[in-house]
Chains A and B, each alone.
Chain A
């Protein structure tokens, strides 16, 4: 079969099981857009309004499904607009493949119109990237790109295809069979001595704690982690991206850790004598000051990325391997254990936390973000997929929307990318059309990618947008309140009328200013098969507690005073 490069790209996408791609056309990618017409029935193209949206949509699709998300852009400005989304996906190990047009090969290096060295620009923010210079390389490059994106520690891969390569014709031979990448060999299983060493530490521990990360979900090791926790009676603290790895109502799950984590989780980490870190990377947002971090604990660290072991925290037993595989090696040898005193101690801390819970305060006449999020949780039966933006509402989501299933909280953790939430929610909906999707976004972040309202309308994507409008860049305002004597420099916002904005895009909407209006508004949004927007006008100056100030010791949390205290 003789095909053009553009057709080969389409054929390869089909063979990778791709049904949808998010993109935006332009000169250097036009041949590929032209080829799309022939494949329209099997490969749906979603026209975004800004390429950043395309990369976040591909990311949201990937996070919701575990499959590779695909985005497409033209050369130069199209490709550079993808950059934020690629960096976001890189930090959170999300598998996406980005295809970009490039100027024709003879023009490369000449500062041609819309030429950017995209493989150079994206080198540090992709897992790998390619500039395809021969149409005969295209098919196996595409195959490698998908393989690299989805295996090992997943991540974004970019394939830059010059226009003349898209136009060139060749015999299309799809490389069936295994992929040969001699330099690419993600670790899989542990050595027996490592398993034995880990078991010994678990056996000796009196105050063990599991730190459950995103890797559990990506490895599909939910059941194995649960068995480990239950059999050895080990409490489980979650990272932000680990939420959903175990059901949050499980008696051993003690909540999120880190800067805005549960006090009980952070205290437990500091008091523990063994950390079992599973598919997490000891980011500074979860460790605080490394010098005082879990100083009494020995550490078992299991992660698929070799370079994560001993990067931030020195592991007594460091295992580079696929979590599910490694736990399957470990579980048959694991003895039953119990730690009643330790668990009792953590329960005491939890009780203290719930006394300080904002939901237990009398707050007549005020609408609080925690209330909005907790009500959405209650009204959706806790079973929706929530996609957040970045800021206070994100942390409050993590605190007030317990997740029962993996891949039901999609959020930009590592990069903290404002503007992620709404487009990622659109992408997610394409991946899991039967799920109820809520984009929970701040008034600030939403304005960074709100142009995708048009995409949601054009495609009639059934996402419910909850704008948490506090008229502030809330999280920055919180830092200014705490660390800059309330000098609110560049954080108050004069916002558009979000409901009128939704009207302009033809999107049904409601505004909520009182708690008793939440239920009807949520029901309204859920009743419409298509995009809806609810603006929740909340308190302007809320605080997210607890808070470990950046760089402080993990146990050194700022807490909300208990009722009665000031």
Chain B
């Protein structure tokens, strides 16, 4: 992939309620509206009730805004933000299994890994597994260099990102906190235990 093509990519970050079916709702929305996305990752946050989705879109900011506006309509989506030109950190992780059955390939591999934030995490008589973490562009570059040695298997997590500085993208209260608080408050008022 060219760097130009990657530069056209925009990231949509969504904080979602960590409830069954939320991923289904998001996937259903993308399919229904025929939104084309590049990658989607979901992971936990420091709050047990909140998950965070990072969605990469390959069609510019306007398209990303459309997606964001639709995501925002989902009740379980707490907050959505489009990250295009604001400063941010992004990371993609790749596990790459490459041929390493001769000295030459092993040497080349070690040499390439030295120049990248990449580690050889498993070595066998025939293949090795490398872990590479970096920006999407950087991971692409690394893969391009490793490819001639002979990639036999690969998985990438997809990009996750976070805005720099003090603009915090977070939610202070979650739904379940509140629902619980209300029940407790009303039972206290009624003098009953729930």
Contact = CB atoms under 8 A, between A and B. Distances in A.
Contacts of B66: 307, 310-311
B32 interface: yes
Given A181-B75, A184-B75, A175 B173 contact: no
Interface in B9-36: 16-17, 21, 24-25, 28, 32
B135 interface: no
Given A119-B21, A183-B17, A177 B171 contact: no
Given A183-B79, A306-B72, A123 B173 contact: no
B175 interface: yes
Interface in B55-80: 62, 66, 69-70, 72-79
A356 interface: no
Contact of B186 (A131, A176, A307): A176
Contacts of A177: 182
A124 interface: yes
B187 A173 contact: yes
A180 B182 contact: yes
B192 A171 contact: yes
A211 B70 CA distance: 24
A180 B175 contact: yes
Contact of A181 (B28, B69, B175): B175
B152 interface: no
Interface in B153-194: 171, 173-175, 178-179, 182-183, 186-187, 190, 192, 194
A183 B77 contact: yes
A131 B175 CA distance: 16
A365 interface: no
A148 interface: yes
Interface in A173-194: 173-177, 180-184
Contact of A307 (B28, B62, B69, B79): B69
Contacts of A131: 21
B73 A123 contact: no
Contacts of A311: 66
Given A124-B28, A124-B32, A307-B70, A175 B75 contact: no
A349 interface: no
A306 B73 contact: yes
A123 B179 contact: no
A171 B191 CA distance: 13
Interface in A278-332: 305-307, 309-311
B69 A306 contact: yes
B178 A183 contact: no
Given A180-B175, A307-B73, A175 B182 contact: yes
A272 B91 CA distance: 50
A499 B12 CA distance: 60
A182 B19 CA distance: 14
B21 A182 contact: no
A128 interface: yes
Interface residues of A, number: 27
Interface string A503-543: 00000000000000000000000000000000000000000
A563 interface: no
Interface string B70-111: 101111111100000000000000000000000000000000
A127 B76 CA distance: 11
B21 A171 contact: no
A479 interface: no
Nearest to B31: A124
B70 to A, nearest CB: 5
A90 to B, nearest CB: 11
A140 B73 contact: no
A120 interface: yes
Nearest to A309: B69
Contact of B74 (A173, A183, A309, A310): A183
Nearest to B181: A180
A563 B183 CA distance: 72
B150 to A, nearest CB: 43
B69 A182 contact: no
Determine which residue in B16, B25, B62 has the highest number of CB atoms from chain A within 10 A of its CB, and name it: B25
Contacts of A120: 24
Contacts of B173: 180, 182
Interface string A336-374: 000000000000000000000000000000000000000
A148 B186 contact: no
Interface in B109-144: none
A123 B73 CA distance: 13
A307 B174 CA distance: 25
A311 B24 CA distance: 23
Determine which residue in A175, A306, A307, A310 has the highest number of CB atoms from chain B within 10 A of its CB, and name it: A307
A173 B194 CA distance: 8
Determine which residue in A140, A184, A309 has the highest number of CB atoms from chain B within 10 A of its CB, and name it: A184
Nearest to A125: B32
B77 to A, nearest CB: 5
11 contacts: A120-B24, A124-B28, A124-B32, A171-B194, A175-B179, A176-B186, A180-B182, A181-B175, A182-B171, A183-B75, A307-B72
Interface of B: 16-17, 21, 24-25, 28, 32, 62, 66, 69-70, 72-79, 171, 173-175, 178-179, 182-183, 186-187, 190, 192, 194
Closest 4 CB pairs of A and B: A180-B178, A307-B69, A183-B78, A306-B69
Given A123-B24, A171-B187, A307-B72, 20 more contacts: A119-B21, A120-B24, A123-B21, A124-B28, A136-B183, A140-B183, A148-B75, A173-B192, A173-B194, A175-B182, A177-B182, A180-B175, A180-B178, A182-B78, A182-B79, A182-B175, A183-B16, A307-B70, A309-B69, A311-B66
